[in-house]
Amino acid sequence: MILAPEHEAVRAKQNFSMISVAQAAELIGITRAAVYIAIKAGNLDAQKIGNVTVLDKASAMKLRDRRSQTPKTVITDSSSANSAASSADGAGPPIAME
């Protein structure tokens, strides 16, 4: 990661692997917006260096592992499922929620 000279001292103090928000999103399998939400909720360790947000890679890997172990719940609306079978209005497939 390239940092402005005034922020190089911050990098020297860190001894953990740091990744960008985009890299964390790809690693975890979520959007960049969801990464920022997870940071705000305290589910990811992050810090700002200048105008760049960086994350602890181990924290992102932990969240990825927790997400893969969490069972997904499928929500269906029985009334729309019944109407979808009888009409061609295109009621979509069930939505997976965590």
Read off the pLDDT of residues 12-67 as tens digits, 9 standing for 90 and up: 455 458 999 999 999 999 999 999 999 999 999 999 988 999 999 999 999 999 98
pLDDT of residue 87: 44
Q: Does residue 63 belong to any structural domain of this protein?
A: yes
Q: Does residue 91 belong to any structural domain of this protein?
A: no
Contacts of 96 (CB under 8 A, 6+ apart): 72, 73, 74
Whether the Cβ atoms of residue 60 and residue 24 lie closer than 8 Å to each other: yes
Q: Residue 61: which domain range?
A: 5-69
Query: How many domains are there within the chain?
Result: 1
Q: Does residue 27 belong to any structural domain of this protein?
A: yes
* pTM score above 0.85: no
The tokens for 82 are 């019944």
Q: How many Å apart are CA 43 and CA 59, to the nearest integer? A: 8
H helical segments located in 1-98: 8-13, 21-28, 32-40, 57-69, 78-86
Whether the Cβ atoms of residue 60 and residue 85 lie closer than 8 Å to each other: no
